[in-house]
Amino acid sequence: MSLFRRTKNNDKPVIRQIIDLIPRYLLTQSIKKYQSDKYCHKYKTYDQLVAFLFGQLCKCSTLEDISVGLSVSKTFIKDMGLLQSPAKSTMSDGNKKRDRRVFEHLYNSLLTHYRRSLHKYSNQQVIQEVEDKTIQIRDSSTISLCLSLFDWAKFRTAKGGIKIHSQWDEALMLPDFVCISEAQVHDSKGFDQVVFPKDTIIIEDKGYWDFDVIKARIQAKNTFVTPVKDNTVYEVVEELALPDHEDEHIIKDELIYLTGKKAKDNALSQILLRRVVVYDDQKDMLLEITTNNMTWKASTIAALYKRRWDIEIFFYGK
């Protein structure tokens, strides 16, 4: 459906109906908290929000595209709740001067506001053993940039880039935190917060494996579900029995100790961990998953790790 189209039951264009899903009082609270309209007479926070959303929903490539698109007609400008279409230079100044935290605060407020509805209408299949747990999924993606234009984002010899570190709230099926860094920053260093409230489950790829982080999470009584890096040294101390005639995609379920130097230096070598090997028929590959949980079924651990692919589909369409 066109974003400019009006429906039979509403005389506002679809894009304005989308914007109206943002309760105005939440925007007002964010504006007051960060005084983001102070000294701004022409380009208010609401105007910038409309410009951002218009540019994103209409896949605009430049500020000029947004300015021209919003100025399509006086009627449309009025429908969007604007007094005038913002000029490219006005938007550029606003992007430089306005405190970005006003929009971060608004986004978090919207997550809280719609949390119950998002959870209610999520069609995600519940994993019974962890249905009452908070699950956080983390992933990253690198975006290439022109090094001559973004010299601060040096990635390789003749290539620039940034890395987007995303944290996904599994219950909402939406990101609740995004951090943008230079592309050279390692995945394990992409987030300042590495531990969560007790019993939180953290699912990550092996790029996030870090001995200091693992130790901190064990101490915080978090549960991690992640592959170890290929060069991680470990010793199998017990191979657990697999159920007969069920969960036949589970190849191994083992208890292990990490025996490498880094594990010993971090006092992790005497902490019992669990290694589950799973065959994934969709990708025709073996998944080697490590966790500090000893009680869940191996199939639960496998199902949890596969939830990591939700964030990949959301952001990258993989």
Pair (47, 188) in one structural domain: no
CA-angle at 285, arms to 279 and 290, nearest 5°: 65
Rounded Cα distance, 175 and 166, in Å = 7
Pair (157, 229) in one structural domain: yes
CA-angle at 220, arms to 216 and 221, nearest 5°: 120
Looking at the chain, the whole-number percentage of residues with pLDDT higher than 90 is: 58
Pair (50, 132) in one structural domain: no
pLDDT number for residue 156? 80
CA-angle at 131, arms to 126 and 137, nearest 5°: 80
pLDDT number for residue 50? 96
Contact residues for 114 (Cβ-Cβ < 8 A; gap 6+): none
117 found inside a domain = no
283 found inside a domain = yes
Answer whether residue 9 shows pLDDT above 70. no
Pair (213, 293) in one structural domain: yes
**Residue ending a domain, choose from 112, 134, 152:** 112
Domain that holds residue 27: 6-112
Average pLDDT over residues 110-115: 93
Pair (155, 273) in one structural domain: yes
Average pLDDT over residues 86-100: 94
Handedness of CA 175, 180, 181, 183 (dihedral sign): positive
Pair (190, 307) in one structural domain: yes
1 found inside a domain = no
Higher pLDDT, 18 or 316: 18
pLDDT number for residue 186? 87
132 found inside a domain = yes
Answer whether residue 313 shows pLDDT above 80. no
Rounded Cα distance, 289 and 301, in Å = 8
Q: Count of domains in the chain?
A: 2
Average pLDDT over residues 193-220: 93
Answer whether residue 110 shows pLDDT above 50. yes
- Exposure string of 149-162, with b = 16+ CB inside 10 Å and e = fewer, is eeeebbbeeeebbb
Pair (265, 127) in one structural domain: yes
Average pLDDT over residues 154-165: 85
Answer whether residue 280 shows pLDDT above 90. no
Pair (36, 108) in one structural domain: yes
Residue 1: pLDDT band with limits 50, 70, 90 = very low
pTM: 0.84
Pair (290, 154) in one structural domain: yes
Answer whether residue 208 shows pLDDT above 50. yes
Higher pLDDT, 296 or 123: 296
**Residue ending a domain, choose from 80, 112, 144:** 112
**Residue ending a domain, choose from 82, 112, 142:** 112
Q: For 219-270, how does the pLDDT look when each residue is reduced to its tens digit (9 = 90+)?
A: 999 999 999 888 889 999 999 999 888 888 999 999 999 999 999 999 999 9
Q: For 296-305, how does the pLDDT look when each residue is reduced to its tens digit (9 = 90+)?
A: 999 999 999 9
Pair (224, 129) in one structural domain: yes
